[in-house]
Amino acid sequence: MNKLLPYFLKTTSFVWYSLILLLLAAGWSAREQNYLVAESGIGYWFGIIGGSMLLLIYLYPLRKRFQRWSAIGSVKSWFRLHMILGVAGPVIIVLHSGFELGSFNSSVAFFCMLLVTLSGLFGRKLYERIHHGLYGRKVRFEEYYSNDDLPGLLLRGSGAIDFDILEKYEDIEQKLIHRHTGVNRSLRFYLTMKSRVGRMRKQVAKSDFGVEEKGQIDTRLKDLHSICILGINEILFSYWHVFHIPLLVMLLLSGLIHVVVVHLY
């Protein structure tokens, strides 16, 4: 069953995005027949439906913040809905617009929506990189770190020993452990460590270590590289979150202003 799940999710995603592309293609081909008019008919109702979808998106961060709202569904369920509506809502709004920019306020609302959508897709990719898939649990530091005594294992072996490499390895490992499990983390630190790990892998390949020892060290260095990537993505995701929230506020305000102006004037 677990082996079939990734295949099922990939197939579902493919079908979902294929339907979206077909819907957009159908709307594009029908634009010249004036079937999609924002002020009336199906185009107007697309605006109501798409706008409602975008409003529902805001319930996920609220549900995540207020644990007392458990009666309306789990955080995980709302996250799934957030992902779906984050794509479906903008698509419906594009159909509502008839693939044309209208008044100033509607154009502002449209570009705010476009920014939020692009930002959301970028955030989704970052989220997937620090979790086991889109709906899986968060990746843990312990999944990459092994506390086995690598220098001790190598010293007990029969191959040649390059103590300079072992010292560099221990230095990188200890810095990553202390920094990753602490609060004083930075993007620059992880980028520097990632670069050091890359240089060290090349140094190991040219060293006098035996084939088995080289394999052991390279496996550990790959794990340290994965820790660096995890740290980079976690920090980028935190930066993205700070950037994304104001965009959501802009979208909400511009959308409400657009609705009020359209119906009053």
One-letter amino acid identity for 253?
Answer: L
For residue 193, what pLDDT is reported?
A: 93
Kindly report the pTM of this predicted structure.
0.81
For residue 39, what pLDDT is reported?
A: 77
For residue 175, what pLDDT is reported?
A: 87
pLDDT (tens place) for every residue of the chain, 265 residues total: 445 545 555 566 677 778 888 888 877 877 776 677 777 788 888 899 999 999 999 988 888 888 777 777 888 888 888 988 998 999 999 988 888 887 888 899 999 999 999 999 999 999 999 998 777 788 887 787 766 655 555 555 545 566 777 788 888 888 888 876 666 678 999 999 999 999 999 988 888 777 887 888 888 889 899 999 999 999 999 999 999 999 999 999 999 999 898 877 6
- Summary count for the chain: helices (H), strands (E): 9, 0
For residue 81, what pLDDT is reported?
A: 87
d(CA 107, CA 97): 10
One-letter amino acid identity for 66?
Answer: F
For residue 167, what pLDDT is reported?
A: 83
DSSP 165-221: HHHHHHHHHHHHHHHHTSS---HHHHHHHHHHHHHHHHHHHTSS--HHHHHHHHHHH
Q: Give the residue among 235, 242, 259 at the shortest CA–CA distance from 108.
A: 259
